[in-house]
Amino acid sequence: MRVYSPTTRPESWAAKRKQIKRAWTSPFFYLDWLWEWAAFLLSNWKFLEVLEYLGSLSVLVAVILYVSESGDRTKQRHYQAWQVINTAQGKGGSGGRIEALEELDADSVPLVGVDVSGAFLQGIRLRRAHLTRAIFNAADARNSSFRYSDLTDSDLHFANFRQSDFRAVNLAGSNMDDTDFSGADLTEANLAGASLERADLSDTTLHGIEWRKIKSIRMANIGGAKDAPDGFVAWALANGAIETEAGASDPPGKDQ
């Protein structure tokens, strides 16, 4: 902020004129002398100083209002994101749902029970998301990341999660019948109580998965599965799983 202080009173024109050495410079000296007087008079005008203070105060008030209303702006943004998701429910395509879901997740908003069935969500990033009882059936979410997310009791049947990141995801109790996990990474995923009937687990990384309480794996394809825990393959085959090369017998929903 500028500090206003009175300037020195300018000398008279008679005194100023004595400094002129060439007659043709007189107009310039005269203008300079007038500006000196203008500056002197304005420096003593307190109204300008008051205006300066008011300007600084208005900036401070604007900052305070902006900070105080940040919560309302966040709520409005979240409301708009949910509007996008709910309006597109049951429809194909993305409909802006990728951005809306990622924005809500970035703000740690729970996505419990969200319904994105049939949606096009390729490449979505929902890490550490709260997706309990979410509905992803028939959704196309290839090349996506759900790392560390909670998808407990979710409906993922017929969904396409090829080449997706499911590391350390909680899938306990979820319906993954006919789901395509080909080439996905399920390292340390919790599959307790999950149903994987006819699921495609070909070329899927299964290191450290929780598998001993899987509800059903009948007709699931585990051909080419990588780093499976000791005993898993034998157990899966004994409980109806099959081993075929990727693409040799695509389960329903493979080309979604």
Lowest mean pLDDT among 56-70, 119-133, 168-182: 56-70
> 246 in helix, strand or coil?
coil
pLDDT of residue 42: 66
227-255 pLDDT, tens digit each: 999 999 999 999 999 999 755 545 444 44
pLDDT band at 29 (very low <50, low <70, confident <90, very high): confident
pLDDT of residue 94: 87
Q: What mean pLDDT comes out for the span 147-159? A: 98
- Can you give the pTM of this predicted structure? 0.69
Amino acid (1-letter code) at residue 238:
A
In the structure encoding, which two tokens stand for residue 234, read together?
């034998």
121-147 pLDDT, tens digit each: 999 999 999 999 999 999 999 999 999
In the structure encoding, which two tokens stand for residue 24, read together?
């043709």
| Contact indicator for 101, 126 with CB cutoff of 8 Å | yes
| Contact indicator for 162, 180 with CB cutoff of 8 Å | yes
pLDDT of residue 254: 46
For residue 245, CA distances in Å to 122, 152, 186, 203, 249 come to: 24, 29, 19, 9, 8
In angstroms, rounded to a whole number, what is the distance separating the alpha carbons of residues 155 and 90?
A: 14
Which of 87, 141, 149, 151 lies closest to 253 in space, CA to CA?
A: 141
Amino acid (1-letter code) at residue 101:
L
Percent of the chain whose pLDDT exceeds 90: 62
| Contact indicator for 214, 231 with CB cutoff of 8 Å | no
Half-sphere exposure of 117 (CA within 13 A, CB side): 12
In the structure encoding, which two tokens stand for residue 101, read together?
């879901």
Please tell me what DSSP assigns to residue 56.
H
